[in-house]
Amino acid sequence: MKESIRQRLDRMLDRFEEVGRLLTDPEVAGRSQQYRDLSREYARLEPLANRYRGFRALETELLAAQQLESDADPSMRTLGAEEAAQVRAALETVENELKQMLIPRDPRDERSVFLEIRAGTGGDEAALFAGDLLRMYTRYAESQGYAVEVLSESAGEHGGYKEIITRIAGAGAFSRLKFESGTHRVQRVPATEAQGRIHTSACTVAILPELEELDEVELNPAELRVDTFRASGAGGQHVNKTDSAVRITHLPSGIVVECQDERSQHKNRSRAMALLKARLRAAEEERQQSEQARSRRLQVGSGDRSERIRTYNFPQGRVTDHRINLTLYKLGDVLDGKLGELIGALQHEHQAEQLAAEGLAS
């Protein structure tokens, strides 16, 4: 283990033990806010402290095994060598776990998200592909136990969507989907193509973390224009006969959001406001991080949706993620929502970048 990492772990272990002592202090126990803050810090540090103590215990075991390797008895030397090899392997595993625990955690990872899919170049074929992407993400979300609700949609003329916005609700949704923002390209022969030529179309995907009260964006009512209109529907006895759909325009930025899924105007307004705040926060973060993001292949957290990130090639049955040069010949599985392998590879690459940035890489 690098000495700089060991010193960092030593400081964190010292702090963990100090917090433990403070929590037993009657004076601290009488100050509710301080006690709550210290309790949270203790809970955050405890897993790392226990793992580091385990690491140091393994180092002691390694010393004992190395002493056996120097024993005059050949059988004891053999036993020592075997034990030393086992302990070294365990030390390597625990050291890697400790490095992962030292990576700064993204506070947004546990949040629900807004998923926005927009058809780009390709006309009707792009709209159909937007529908494929919606199905893919919906099936993946459901496999993770997340709830999916449509906030607004604009249907394509021949199927699919020109634009569709959904909310995916569940703990950890952002941590799994945050790498999906960008341009998704499809290569396939459209059903209407008589010559059998392959067409290339594209959709843009945006993943926005839902904000919490602590980081809410303040909005000036004077800078908002709120319009109500009748939600579109298929008709029948449940057709919407009131102006329940809501469209909100943020005048300074020109950002427009709408929600028409709920029959209650109040609920639609609440959902639209939440989406507007998420978009404004994402725009601000993109502005702040644009310089830094240029040097990062994953564009994580930058909100950059201009870069082509993935290609879905139907003739070859492959999916290629261009950020990490990963190609899977599992197009059917991926479009059926089996995104675990892709998402796992992106998370692993992101962790490697973080380890390097934190000076934790080997």
Q: Give the number of other CB atoms < 10 A from CB of residue 314.
A: 14
Strand segments, DSSP code E, in 75-124 are 113-119
Ranges of each domain in the chain:
3-102, 113-353
pTM: 0.68
Give the pLDDT confidence of 117-144 residue by residue, as tens digits: 999 988 889 999 999 999 999 999 999 9
The pLDDT confidence band at residue 216, using thresholds 50, 70 and 90, is low
Give yes or no for a contact between 181 and 206, defined as CB atoms under 8 angstroms apart. yes
Nearest-angstrom CA–CA distance, 296 and 47: 30
Q: Which two tokens stand for residue 222?
A: 């004077």
CATH number belonging to domain 113-353 = 3.30.70.1660
Give the pLDDT confidence of 149-158 residue by residue, as tens digits: 999 899 999 8
Average pLDDT along the chain: 86
Maximum average pLDDT range among 254-258, 318-322, 353-357: 318-322
Give the pLDDT confidence of 292-340 residue by residue, as tens digits: 444 344 443 333 345 689 999 999 999 999 999 999 999 999 999 999 9
Q: Which two tokens stand for residue 78?
A: 């053999």
Closest CA to 169 of 17, 271, 92: 271
Q: Which long-range contacts (CB under 8 A, 24 or more apart) does 82-91 make?
A: 87/58, 87/61, 87/62, 88/62, 90/58, 91/55, 91/58, 91/59, 91/62
Q: What is the pLDDT of residue 356?
A: 82
Query: Helices H, strands E: what count in the chain?
Result: 9, 11
